[in-house]
Amino acid sequence: MQTNNHPAGADESVRPLRIEVPQAQLDDLVDRLQRVRYTNELPRDQVTDGVQRGPVVPGWEYGVPLEYVQRLVEHWRDSYDWRKWEARLNEYPHFTTTIDGQNIHFLHVRSPEPDATPLILTHGWPNSVVEFLELIGPLTDPVAHGGDAADAFHLVVPSLPGFGFSGPTHEKGWNRHRTARAWAELMRRLGYQRYGAHGNDVGSFVSPELGRIAPEQVIGVHVTQLFSFPSGDPAEFEGMTPQDLEYLGFLQKFNEEMSAYARLQETGPQNLAHALADSPTGQLAWIAQLLASCDDEHVLTNATIYWLTNTAASSARFYYEDHHAEHPTEPTTAPTGLASFANDFTPLRRFADRDHQNIVSWTEHPRGGHWATQDAPDLLIDDIRGFFRHLTR
């Protein structure tokens, strides 16, 4: 199945890339951090009574606390080593190519196992390809990590259009569907006729659409979230169990208390983008609202990537474009697997089955959170391996 047009003379070249940030940009970042002006906040004893309410952590009721930001800014300014992370990224082969008029950056790491399954991994917001660094070794070379050679993958790890090293987008319409078409073209361009897809966060929107538009190529779709919610039909709530109602309550609390970032980016992404493009401290705080469960180095590395590439606005625009897109109403049909983690929301199976008619694997893990690559990579790796093992053997 062909999913993209390829006009005669179109540039389909794949170009090697080495990440080398000019020192002047790093010096400018440090200079800005040295001149930071912090915001004010209420005294801690007025902000919280120490009681956690839903997904909101005590002390974070009004948003990212000043103390947290000050600690990370000091680390960023005084001891964070971008060159270390730059070298870590450059341990893997990086490339760029132009698809549908957009620069696309990606890692392409082939397994030493010749019969490995090709797999495209799609990160989320406000993350980057850094999200998957810890998975590359175990997935591409399972034997070296105590696994079975039959579980090996050739990995393609792209930066979402408008995110990080893919650079800003310059046209309207870069939503989940246009991204999925770009991924299908990327895999075709790399010579992969059959492949799997995995995604987290935004990647959990894009990956099922890749399965929808390229059913002859996509072996299966593995995600860490299925964003299936009530449609408003009262009949959907009949026969719900107490556990179902508990899940619904969590979703409602998340929507009420933790989704302001999504509403802003869906409706007016440029409103905040001017501040984020001018202030690395603002950029840090904005992404920390969702990344704070990760270690400081992970948060700062992502903040540095967004800052250096000036992609706060274009990554936020993804939300706007997706919110204003027309989405198919028919369910997906690709074999689908869900790995849900204890500290992330779990969709209700009845809603997931409504939207994805071929769910073949559903696992609710006892630990881990929204960024499972960081706090439960062993469980996630095992789940990915098991899902595709079932489909390919």
pLDDT (tens digit per residue) in 332-374: 999 999 999 999 988 899 999 999 999 999 999 999 999 999 9
Q: Residue 325: what are its φ and ψ, rounded to 5°?
A: -90, 160
The better pLDDT of the pair 192, 393 is held by: 192
* Domain boundaries 26-32+54-392, corresponding CATH code: 3.40.50.1820
Q: Is residue 392 within 8 Å of residue 117, measured between CB atoms?
A: yes
Q: For this structure, is 247 an active site residue?
A: no
Query: Residue 23 corresponds to which amino acid?
Result: Q
Q: Using CA atoms, how far apart are residues 117 and 387, in angstroms rounded to an integer?
A: 12
Catalytic annotation, pick one of 319, 322, 355, 365: 319
Q: Residue 154: what are its φ and ψ, rounded to 5°?
A: -85, 125
Tell which residue, 324, 328, 339, has the closest CA to residue 370: 339
Averaged pLDDT for residues 322-339: 97
Residues 266-289: tens digit of each pLDDT:
999 999 999 999 999 999 999 999
Helices assigned H by DSSP within the chain: 23-34, 44-47, 66-78, 82-89, 133-140, 176-189, 202-213, 242-257, 260-267, 269-278, 280-291, 296-309, 312-323, 349-355, 372-375, 377-392
Q: Residue 138: what are its φ and ψ, rounded to 5°?
A: -60, -35
Q: Which residues of 311-328 are buried (b: 16+ CB within 10 A; e: fewer)?
A: bbbbbbbbbbbbeeeeee
The pLDDT assigned to 231 comes to 83
Q: For this structure, is 319 an active site residue?
A: yes
Asked if pLDDT for residue 52 goes beyond 60, the answer is no
Q: Using CA atoms, how far apart are residues 133 and 384, in angstroms rounded to an integer?
A: 15
- Confidence category of residue 8, pLDDT binned at 50, 70, 90: very low
Non-local CB neighbours of 354 within 8 Å, separated by 6+ positions: 228, 231, 331
Catalytic annotation, pick one of 94, 108, 141, 201: 201
The pLDDT assigned to 88 comes to 98
Full DSSP string of 67-78? HHHHHHHHHHHH
- Confidence category of residue 3, pLDDT binned at 50, 70, 90: very low
Catalytic annotation, pick one of 151, 370, 375, 383: 370
Q: For this structure, is 170 an active site residue?
A: no
